[in-house]
């Protein structure tokens, strides 16, 4: 991935609330190219593995419950400086702290149900993309 790819999910709250189109529009208008994408639903095991780094946190059960309650859009995005620029585009984890115009500010429901995921490092972007997509699904 060499610094130019990140992984995102449009989370169940944003899918339920009908924001897939608007969020994808903002992502592509911000210069990201979609190189893999699908509508899918995570199983409990998937979510526990994907968020394993948080398994000791008090909100882990709630997070797994939330992330498995409905479909998500998973996607791999390409842009120079993708990880950092995408974290800027989505805004702070808590939408109340997110900057005006960011995706979480506009579409998130709460700290837990915050509309989108964005990888936090190049290494995690690669791990997370591989978790959701086979190599032949990247374009």
Contacting residues toward ligand GDP, per CB under 6 A: 54, 59, 62-63, 93, 111-112, 114, 117, 120
Q: Judge whether 23 and 107 are in contact, CB under 8 Å.
A: yes
Give how many residues touch Mg ion by CB under 5 A: 1
Q: What element of type H or E holds 129?
A: helix 122-132
Nearer to ligand GDP, 57 or 137 (CB): 57
Binder of residue 84, out of ligand GDP, Mg ion, none (CB less than 5 to 8 A by kind):
none
Minimum CB distance to ligand GDP, residue 66 (Å): 7
Q: Judge whether 86 and 5 are in contact, CB under 8 Å.
A: no
Tell which residue, 131, 139, 136, 10, has the closest CA to residue 67: 10
Nearer to Mg ion, 81 or 139 (CB): 81
Quote the CA–CA distance of 122 and 100 in Å, as a whole number.
26
Residue 3: CA count within 13 A, CB half-sphere: 2
Marked catalytic residue, from 54, 117, 132, 138 = 117
Give the interface segment with Mg ion, choosing from 19-27, 40-48, 78-86, 118-126 (CB under 5 A): 118-126
132 part of the active site: no
Write out the catalytic residue numbers.
117
């Amino acid at each position: 991935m060499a610094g130019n790819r990140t992984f995102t999910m449009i989370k169940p709250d944003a899918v339920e609330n009908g924001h897939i189109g608007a969020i994808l529009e903002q992502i592509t208008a911000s210069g990201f190219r979609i190189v893999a994408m699908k509508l899918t639903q995570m199983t409990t095991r998937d979510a526990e593995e994907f968020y394993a780094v948080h398994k000791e946190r008090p909100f882990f059960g709630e997070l797994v419950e939330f992330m498995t309650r409905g479909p998500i859009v998973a996607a791999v995005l390409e842009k120079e400086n993708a990880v950092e620029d995408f974290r800027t585009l989505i805004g702070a984890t808590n939408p109340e702290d997110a900057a005006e115009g960011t995706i979480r500010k506009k579409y998130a429901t709460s700290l837990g149900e915050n509309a989108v995921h964005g990888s936090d490092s190049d290494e995690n972007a690669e791990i997370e993309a591989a978790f959701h997509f086979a190599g032949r699904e990247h374009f």
